[in-house]
Amino acid sequence: MTDDQMPTDDEMRAWTIRRALAGNAEAGLKALDDCRWGLTYNNLHPDLQSYLAARISEVLDGVKPDRALRIAKPRGRPPDPFPEWQQELGSFAALLTQRGYRPQQIAVAMCDQRAALHDKSLEESDAHAIRVTWEPMQRIDSETLERLAGRYREKLSEYPPLNTR
């Protein structure tokens, strides 16, 4: 493998965080280990600062520590790390990002539309996690994203592009 094929530290860190947020316990342990070393050497990367702050917030909000820290070992068959329903929401989030919406606005829209379309609730923290996990989709053209958004495509008219001057 040549140097230009090697992933950068930023890419590896983002990949580890995405996998941890998707429920991969090994990635969760790796992310926590990276946080520990960053704290030890007073050099914690901003992405890891955000990750760690969100994990601590979940613990303080009453989520069991092993689940909040994304280190819970799944029982039985491992869950699909990228289920289709999350892909649809990830596509919806990517489209809203392309239209100029802020992360908090996107999370609220994801929660509202999941409830409207599927009569299923979605916590804002889960919406943020899905948005972050599927962040690479933001680089896909809007036509493809609309196709991948499934029924969320019907709701896009409620979210016109923002004037981002």
Is the pLDDT confidence value at 1 over 50?
A: no
pTM of the model: 0.54
Q: What is the pLDDT of residues 74-125, one digit of tens each?
A: 677 666 777 889 999 999 999 999 999 999 999 999 999 999 999 999 988 8
* C-alpha span between 130 and 113 (Å, rounded): 14
Q: Which of 80, 78, 74, 71 is nearest to 52 (CA)?
A: 71
DSSP structure string for 85-130: HHHHHHHHHHHHHHTT--HHHHHHHHHHHHHHHHS----HHHHHHH
* pLDDT number for residue 97: 96
CA distance 18 to 32: 13
